[in-house]
Structure 1
Amino acid sequence: MAGKLILGGNEYEFSSVARLQKSGQYPEFQAIFDFILEWQSGQPFFELFTSGSTGKPKAITVSRNQMIASAKRTIRTLKLENGISALMCMNPSFIGGKMMLVRAMEFDWDLTMITPTNNPSLFLKKNSLFDFMALVPMQLENMLEDEQGKQILNQSAHIIVGGAPVSSRLREKLNTITAQVYNTYGMTETVSHIALMPLNEPNTSEEFKVLDGIELGTDARNCLRIKGDVTNNEWVQTNDVVALKDQHFLWLGRADFVINSGGIKIHLDQLEERISDILETEAVLLKIKDPSLGESYALVIKEEVKASNESIQITLKSALPKYHGPKVILKVENFLRTESGKVDRAGIKLQLGLE
């Protein structure tokens, strides 16, 4: 049984992609068609790019075998079958989108494709049924706020969400749907996810569980190291500080997203989530220099937050540990994001004129 591409309600065999590309019928999917044709030709290596959320995206070369190993591991872990239906609404330029295509081609899936959008449900029918879908947190949150989106999620069997942190506010909302949702841990260097964390009942957890066949370790900073067939059996060193125990780990934040403010070490990843929960809105923290403390941070929120900066400072002072409040509060209309959907901290700092 051969899988199919479903574009705008029309079904096409993967084998017909060359003709489809030449027709020029779907210009928005040309990059996807290019990758499918490269894969079908047996191309052994592929150039991928990191997300660029903390700096300029860098090119990484991965092998066909690494990508197949990653696809097989996801299939085994979630007990997915050949010939299932799946939704592709991620950017195909990055590893998450490319791996959806690899899984579909290698395991004969029927893959519905829509262009990347903040709310995929706007481009789907209410009765859409999917066995598997991969989303970024912003897409998942918008679908939960939409009646049609929520119905589509409830009709799905397996949902993975990655590419950016999942807030505790989003986790709470996930308990209103029955589909099992997993947070993914992985990166371009590991050819997509190597660990999963169930986010909603009945199997919710605060820790990631590593997938079978992946070896983990930590360096002197307690930053995670990863090795397996997806890394070509070479160690990949991350900047993610973790609490590792057997085949589980708790993600604590990035080692390069820590400030020493007047002698107090503050993990900004954890603080960012805490502030978002307190203010009940998305918050972005940016490291800044401080003439007296050495380092501090700026809190950036959207202009739609009507509370004054003074009242926000008062709220945070009463809720956060001493000396953990922001040096300055700034507001923007919308957060700049990378092509992969992550908050573009470097871009926001430049936009606001911060050093």
Structure 2
Amino acid sequence: MRQCIDYLTQSRDDWLIGCDRQQLIELTQQLYLEIAQKQTPAKILLLESEPVKFLAGFIAACAAECLVFLGNPHWVEQEKQQVFELVQPDIVLGDRDGEISRNYAANSPATPNSNWIMIPTGGTSGKIRFAIHTWETLTASVTAFRQYFDLQQINSFCTLPLYHVSGLMQFMRSLITGGKLAICQLKQIENQELSKIEPEEFYISLVPTQLQKLLQNPTSTAWLAQFRTVLLGGAPAWQELLETARKNRIKIAITYGMTETASGIAILKPQDFLKGENNSGQPLPHTQITICSDTGEQLAPNQIGNITITSKSLALGYYPEQFKSRDKFQLDDIGYIDQKGHLNIVGRSSRKIITGGENVYPEEIETAIRATNLVKDICIIGVEDSTWGQAVTAVYVKSQPNITPNTIQTAIKDKLSKFKQPKHWISLDTLPRNPQGKLNYSYITQIATNTIKATISTN
């Protein structure tokens, strides 16, 4: 795995933009020598917020064939405690007054394997887990991306956290293919501190909330339109946002993927997006996607069912357990393959609401409500109900102060079947989202349940 450092030292002088490449090389070699002195492969927890220190720790740990756990430096104390109990790291690399701190565990249990790369997933509604990857699974994702877009070198513009799979894979694509990597915070772009690059050469990755912020400013909108491709993922994008991007000729590539698949396994190419398509595009060369019934039978095109994949970039399991089989991995998502071979996402099995015996997918209702332009944000959930089993409930942010539930109900009356229309409407100032734009469904459900109970008790 010394090849990790070889990639770095052999990279072009202008490879890294926004950070000091020479500092990265020196720090990586220093850390590698220190880590490699340990007699057995170490378990390293990487809690770095500064990009150069993060990349140095990651490359050094991979080169030394250690188990490296990527961590969110902004985890609260309870989350950190949960991670420490699970990982029991030998070494913790993290910021402390601008210096790298190294903490060594005295009695760490034996490692199940070496050279695993653990990427965090979850944490917004439940326990933090680590998807087990290797240099090979991450490389498989890079190779497929390059083949799909017919590229030799991939230039990435990264505004996302490097500890997140969507940020890490931008680094991997640039490093492995000999492309450039520009690292920039979203606030710099919002303040018009635009990096001195040629955008038409770069792929930039954004989550929907980031795209929305940039489209609110004419300067950043014009700048974004210059990019070769804007990869959009991390959370479902709403219709209004996509239409605004299309109107401004933003070359969006809607991506479908997750931590477990080392980012995108299906991507809609920009030319198809600009023609009006909003699906997730075709599977990448390293992935096969099938749609199956509840009994496992493969379904025909346009039939909705469970999304099942096989992929060379699929994680080995969740630390410390490996999957019993990686031949077929059934996802939580529901969708279908259309006649063009494009993947269309309908919703998530875990979010499905059963109300009065009818199956309801919240994404459909959210899309209809967003299309009215009466809300800034919307989340549809099912709340326990003695009559319906679950009551469809809308938790939303008004687009204007004078908007009432009746206003929205009137607007969607002819857009949704009666059983799909929300029975409860709860207005909030903002909806709780993480930095990637994903909603905290547990917290929203708790708020909705308490609000409905309080309303019932006062009536």
Q: TM above 0.5, one fold?
A: yes
Which has more radius of gyration? 2
1:228-243 superposed matches below 5 A: 228-231=311-314, 234-243=327-336
1:35-74 superposed matches below 5 A: 35-41=58-64, 44-53=115-124, 55-74=126-145
Cα distance in 1 for residues equivalent to 2:352 and 2:260: 23
After superposition, what is the alpha-carbon deviation per residue over 1:143-164, rounded to whole angstroms, capped at 9, x for unaligned?
Answer: 1221221122122112111000
Partner residue, 1:5: 16
Query: Structure 2 vs 1, CA of residues 207 and 337 (structure 1 numbering), >3 Å: closer, same or farther?
Result: closer
Query: Structure 2 vs 1, CA of residues 57 and 269 (structure 1 numbering), >3 Å: closer, same or farther?
Result: farther
- Following TM superposition, the consecutive aligned residue runs of length 4 or more in structure 1 with deviations greater than 6 angstroms are none
1:148-297 superposed matches below 5 A: 148-198=219-269, 200-202=273-275, 204=277, 206-221=279-294, 222-231=305-314, 234-244=327-337, 247-278=341-372, 279-297=374-392
Cα distance in 2 for residues equivalent to 1:57 and 1:339: 15
1:61 is displaced (CA, Å) by: 0.8
Q: Partner amino acid for 1:185? A: Y
Cα distance in 2 for residues equivalent to 1:207 and 1:133: 17
1:305 is displaced (CA, Å) by: 3.7
- The yes-or-no answer on 1:114 pairing with 2:136 is no
Q: Partner amino acid for 2:363? A: D
1:184 is displaced (CA, Å) by: 0.6
Partner residue, 1:337: 433
Partner residue, 1:125: 194
Query: Structure 2 vs 1, CA of residues 273 and 37 (structure 1 numbering), >3 Å: closer, same or farther?
Result: farther
SS in 1 for 2:142: helix
Q: Partner amino acid for 1:211? A: L
Q: Is the 8 A contact 2:383 2:392 kept in 1?
A: yes
1:71 is displaced (CA, Å) by: 1.0
Q: Partner amino acid for 1:134? A: S
- The yes-or-no answer on 1:15 pairing with 2:25 is yes
Please report the TM-score for the alignment, with normalisation by the length of structure 1: 0.86
- The yes-or-no answer on 1:141 pairing with 2:212 is yes
Query: Structure 2 vs 1, CA of residues 318 and 179 (structure 1 numbering), >3 Å: closer, same or farther?
Result: closer
1:27 is displaced (CA, Å) by: 5.6
Q: Is the 8 A contact 1:136 1:162 kept in 2?
A: yes
1:203 is displaced (CA, Å) by: 7.1
Please report the TM-score for the alignment, with normalisation by the length of structure 2: 0.68
- The yes-or-no answer on 1:86 pairing with 2:169 is no
SS in 2 for 1:175: helix
Q: Is the 8 A contact 1:89 1:120 kept in 2?
A: no
Q: Is the 8 A contact 1:114 1:123 kept in 2?
A: no
SS in 1 for 2:274: coil
Which runs of no fewer than 5 residues in structure 1 stay unpaired? none
Once the two structures are overlaid, the 10-residue window that deviates more, 187-196 or 172-181, is: 172-181
Which runs of no fewer than 5 residues in structure 2 stay unpaired? 1-9, 32-47, 67-114, 295-304, 317-325, 454-459
